[in-house]
Amino acid sequence: MTTPHDAPPVVEMTGISIEFPGVKALQAVDFTLRAGEVHALMGENGAGKSTLIKALTGVYSIDSGRIVVDGQEQEFSGPGQAQSAGISTVYQEVNLCENLSVAENIMLGHEPRRAGAIDWRATRRTAGELLTRLNLNIDPASSLSAHSLAVQQLVAICRAMVVDCKVLILDEPTSSLDADEVAQLFAVMRSLRDQGVAILFVSHFLEQIYEISDRMTVLRNGQLVGEYRTADLPRLELVSKMIGTSLEVLEELEEAPKRSVAERPDTAPLVQAVGLGRKGSVQPFDLDLYEGEVVGLAGLLGSGRTELARLLAGADRADSGLTRIAGALARLRTPRAAMQHGIAFSSEHRKAEGIIGDLTVRENIILGVQADRGWARRLPRKRADEIVDRYMTALDIRPANPDALIRNLSGGNQQKVLLARWLATAPRLLLLDEPTRGIDVGAKAEIQRLVAQLAADGMSVVFISAELEEVLRLSHRIAVMRDREKIAEVTNNENVTVSDLVELIASGGQHR
């Protein structure tokens, strides 16, 4: 990019305010988006990023302020109007139709017609042209479900290009992509930027923000902190602006869950997996888990790290091998059976496999305990209140209202509620699959600290994360996964680095 300062603004939002009952979601926020730039919108969960995006895309109507798109003042009263003004959005969760072809997905609603009927040949051709424009080598006639999530995301972007798109909003597009896929996405973003599209990008990954963005706007508590050129703002300073704490405090926070390399306790393992495996999911593996120890699972997306945890949690049934718990043979055929052995599993899919959206925070917290007791023995109200109060305070769940519906909470707080649900069952082994994905820096540090604390208190923890730094910082021992196989086990110490892990993953470890 040459001088994005001089590029004409495509979107100018001035003095935007939106108020919900009891919450000032946005207060007089200004936001400018210029043609041919990648602009990152930064802020913690609840800072107002989503609200600002929804104001721009017409999902929310603004209480005051002005939105000017391409020199014309707009008053959006629905997403359709924003779209016809040239604003397209690709959300975190891909909302496409898996059972349709790539071409159908891209052109859905804009199919070329001939004599009243859809011209399928032209549909495929136009879709193919759009894919080529983004340098994507995808067969337009192939079924969408045949492609990885990353490719689906790119198809979603391609779909956004069908209408004459001036502004492309990418809300957390990278949260479930691995490094190669992110690189592919970024290539597409750069090519679009160079074609003059203004891109608004939201991500929790600071690395990615610094790699791709030209400029950023930081929000905090619904207020504008400022607009900066990415090159002028060091990371730590950005984070301090996002969470509103001084640099010193922040550095301390970063250091707090310093990796604590303890000697392995001289006891028998709590859980022992011997040749445990499942066809098509994960190759047979051996793994010993000790009390008071955090075992990290490192590996790329699809390396089998989730599948390994699911076998231990009884979420999937193993078809080979056996599990011993405290020396005794245990059959983990269902999640419930695993729970009764003191194994709790927090899935990586927070929405699909974690929260019960229409139930309250209270109900979500006590669900695990209640399920364990069975339906007939209802958790007494007083006892339930104690549990809920204790964990809402301990984990600082906000809003501090146990009767709020969990789906109205931010991602980080939903994650904390799920943690509370599992902790309330007093597990001996806690399996955490991507507990910090898609949540803000502050909540992330809190959860990391909590994991360290739980292990120090004697719990056995399995920690899965795509961020190797995080795995390295928290784990006493690291199992390295690749291609659905456990390829190595590393005892963590000061000398192990991220690049060691990457090398292990890349080289395939020492095959046994």
Give the interface with another protein as residue ranges (CB under 8 A).
Answer: 18, 20-21, 23, 25-26, 45-46, 48, 50-51, 222, 313, 315, 334-336, 339, 345, 347, 352-360, 363, 367-368, 370-379, 381, 399, 403-405, 408-410, 421, 425
Tell whether the torsion through CA atoms of 169, 173, 179 and 184 is positive or negative.
negative
142 in Cβ contact with 101 (< 8 Å)? yes
- Nearer residue to another protein within complex by CB, 140 or 402: 402
Q: How far is the CB of 348 from another protein (least distance, A)?
A: 11
Give SS3 for 68.
Answer: strand
Shortest distance, position 356 Cβ to another protein, whole Å: 5
Query: What does the block give as tokens for 303?
Result: 């390396």
Q: Which is nearer to another protein, 178 or 372 (CB)?
A: 372
- CB of residue 400 vs another protein: minimum separation in angstroms? 12
Whichever of 12 and 63 has its CB closer to another protein, that residue is 63
Buried b (16+ CB within 10 A) or exposed e, 330-354: bebeebeebbebbbbbbbbebeeeb
- Is the Cβ of residue 217 or residue 347 nearer to another protein in the bound state? 347
Query: How open is the CA angle 95-96-101, to the nearest 5 degrees?
Result: 170
- DSSP class of 466: S
Nearer to another protein, 355 or 471 (CB): 355
Rounded to an integer, what distance in angstroms lies between the CA atom of residue 205 and that of residue 440?
9
CB 446, min distance to another protein, A: 19
Strand 429-433 with 343-346, pairing: parallel
- Using the minimum distance from each CB to another protein, give the nearer residue, 25 or 200: 25
CA angle in degrees (0–180, nearest 5) for 343-436-359: 70
Residue 257 vs 442, nearer CB to another protein: 442
Tokens of 52: 């600002």
Minimum distance from CB of 336 to another protein (Å)? 4
If the CB atoms of residues 384 and 472 are measured against another protein, the closer one turns out to be 384
Q: Does the bond joining 79 to the residue before it have cis omega, within 30 degrees of 0?
A: no
Task: Tell me which DSSP letter residue 316 carries.
Answer: S
Helix, strand or coil, per DSSP, at residue 101: strand
- For another protein, the closer of residues 319 and 403 by Cβ is 403
H/E stretch holding 18: strand 9-20
Amino acid at 301: L
Distances, alpha carbon 208 to alpha carbons 125, 201, 204, 366, in Å: 33, 10, 8, 37
Q: Which two tokens stand for residue 57?
A: 């895309």
Q: How far is the CB of 344 from another protein (least distance, A)?
A: 9
CB of 171 to another protein, least distance (A): 11
Looking at beta carbons only, is 88 or 425 nearer to another protein?
Answer: 425
**Please, what is the minimum distance in Å from the beta carbon of residue 60 to another protein?**
9
- Measured from the CB of residue 181, what is the shortest distance to another protein in angstroms? 25
Burial of 423 (0-12, 13-18, 19+ CB in 10 A): buried
Q: How far is the CB of 168 from another protein (least distance, A)?
A: 20
Residue 223 carries which DSSP code? Answer: E
Place of tokens 């956004």: 160
- Give the tokens for residue 147: 């492609």
Sign of the C-alpha dihedral computed for residues 355, 357, 362 and 368 taken in this order: negative
